[in-house]
Amino acid sequence: MPKNANLRGAELLLNPRHNKGTAFSEAERDALGLRGLLPPRVFSLEEQEVRILEAFRGKSSPLEKYIYLSSLQDRNETLFYKVVVDHLAEMMPIIYTPTVGEACRVFSRIFRRPRGLYITARDKGRIRESLRNWPAERVSVIVVTDGERILGLGDLGAHGMGIPIGKLALYTACAGISPAECLPINIDVGTGNAELLADPLYTGLLQPRLRGAEYDELIEEFVLAVQEVFPGVLLQWEDFATDNAFGLLDRYRDRLCTFNDDIQGTAAVTLAGLYSATRVTGQSLAEQRLLFLGAGSAATGIGSLIVNAMVREGVPEAEARAKCWFVDSKGLVTASRGDLQAHKRPFAHEHPPVATFLEAVQSLRPTAILGLAAQPGAFTPEVLQAMAAQQERPIVFALSNPTSKSECTAEQAYAHTEGRGIFASGSPFDPVTVHGQTFVPGQGNNAYIFPGLGLGAVLAGATRVTDPMFHAAARTLADYLPEESLAQGSLFPPLAQIREVSARIAEAVIRVAQAEGLATTELPADLAGHVRRHMYQPRYPEYLPVA
């Protein structure tokens, strides 16, 4: 009998991890003190799923659907994951981008029940105690944010908790990491958002955002506490401002098993999209010339991983870097500019000043443009037409989230390139018909990468997360894409296949961990079977009476 069977009666029904609701059998109702506390008919998990889907699809807006699913997760975790896993393409835009952005904006107004841990600036000196308050016996994955750069929405402070919650739901739904082993954390150090500070319902600290040495000391205490309380855990950094994102990754990547999804996960899924695009163009990765709109952590992280991938293919590093160009708020990033942050300098090349993105397209003649500046409409008709005039199959990646921040829509990308564009986006778009051809645009969602990578790191007991693991994940994702998906304009597999993709990525990551001497667990020769046996499946256990 499962150890959670000591829960009984109303206490059991209020525990989302163990509650089965109307699926408790007649014998379970007698044995567990549930007789009379539930409607008399016993339903199967599949029958419950039908009821949930009907109610879900009856909601009037994506945000209402998000609230409904959050309520389900709060009362019956198994049923929540059954619905999400079985209908992932329908559910992912609700539990994560783009709807999670709107949910974070109004987080205090839709708050119902606490989920995850809040570590605050007031907890300095006692973060270990806060972590020990978490009730789970084992934690395999932590996703943490300080809420300063939530998607393309900026500083949302404590409202950023919606991001770790959503990311970890994807770890479970997409890669089968048990929800019992997932911990979302928000580090609340205040906010620079004046609107939130003036909001009487804001749930976070009412103070300006902590910065400098005090911030660094708090994060150091947090990391040391995580290593002590949850040894061997995978720690994922999420939605930190650019300077902190790079600084924290550089400081901790060689001290524990950790990565930054905005920098490395986004880079890997974009690299996979480029690998897929080269199957269409017939060119190699080394033949690409890339122009980025935006030069923050995500954009330069992509550039760095692409450079590394080219180097692995035999391209000299200097030559590889020369193929990556960036446009920020002040124009083309060039060597003559004296205002550059450290993460931009490796991509500052010799070139006369260029003020606008269109001028950069016309001057540099890129094979691909990649938008990560959260500037809606920045890929104007003129930009797209210039790409089409210069390239037979122009690559257009509008990667900013949520949908309202996308640099262009799928329809615009295809229409203004005469249907020759190779398009991918950060948020989902519906199929588009242009010149009699229907395109199914692919979404470059990080969920194709980080869940499988995390599963592999956890199963390997990896002590570090390395760039070769992201290379392996990107290549595995691209290689999985069938020709029929490419033919309809999609650079990524259908979301319905993401659990199989994640399993294969996990295998590839385990092999890299073994080759690099970073694996600490004994693993069988049958890695494929081992990975799949350890993937969580949303099924109810049987609570039988103790003999």
Would you please indicate which residues are annotated as catalytic (active-site) residues?
96, 167
Rounded to whole angstroms, the Cα distance separating 57 from 36 reads 30
What is the total residue count of the chain? 547
| Residues forming beta bridges with residue 118, ordered by sequence position | 186
Q: Please state, in angstroms and as integers, the Cα–Cα distance from residue 70 to each residue in 16, 80, 303, following that order.
A: 11, 9, 36
The one-letter code for the residue type at 72 is L
Half-sphere exposure for 154 (CA within 13 Å, toward CB): 8
Closest CA to 333 of 122, 314, 322: 322
3-class secondary structure, 504: helix
User: Hey, CA dihedral for 484, 477, 271, 443, is it positive or negative?
Assistant: positive
Phi-psi bin for 294: left (phi > 0), alpha (psi -120 to 50), beta? left
Q: How many CB atoms lie within 10 A of CB 4?
A: 12
Query: Is-contact 438 410, C-beta < 8 A?
Result: no
| CA dist list (Å): 237 to 81, 128, 356 | 24, 19, 32
Residues in a beta bridge with 142: 183, 235
74 neighbors 113 (Cβ within 8 angstroms)? yes
Which ranges of 230-258 does DSSP label H, i.e. alpha helix? 242-252
Cis omega before residue 98 (within 30°)?
yes
SS3 of 213-234: HHHHHHHHHHHHHHHHHCCCCE
d(CA 495, CA 398): 19
C-beta neighbour count of 220 within 10 angstroms = 12
Tokens representing residue 145 in the block:
């944010």
Cis peptide before 184 (omega within 30 of 0): no
> Which distant-in-sequence residues (6+ apart) come within 8 Å of 446 by Cβ?
261, 265, 266, 269
* Single-letter amino acid, residue 231: P
Within 10 angstroms of residue 202's Cβ, the number of other Cβ atoms is: 20
Other CB atoms within 10 Å distance of the CB of residue 545: 11
- Which DSSP letter does residue 293 get? E
Q: Tell me the HSE value of 36 on the side-chain side, using a 13 A CA sphere.
A: 2
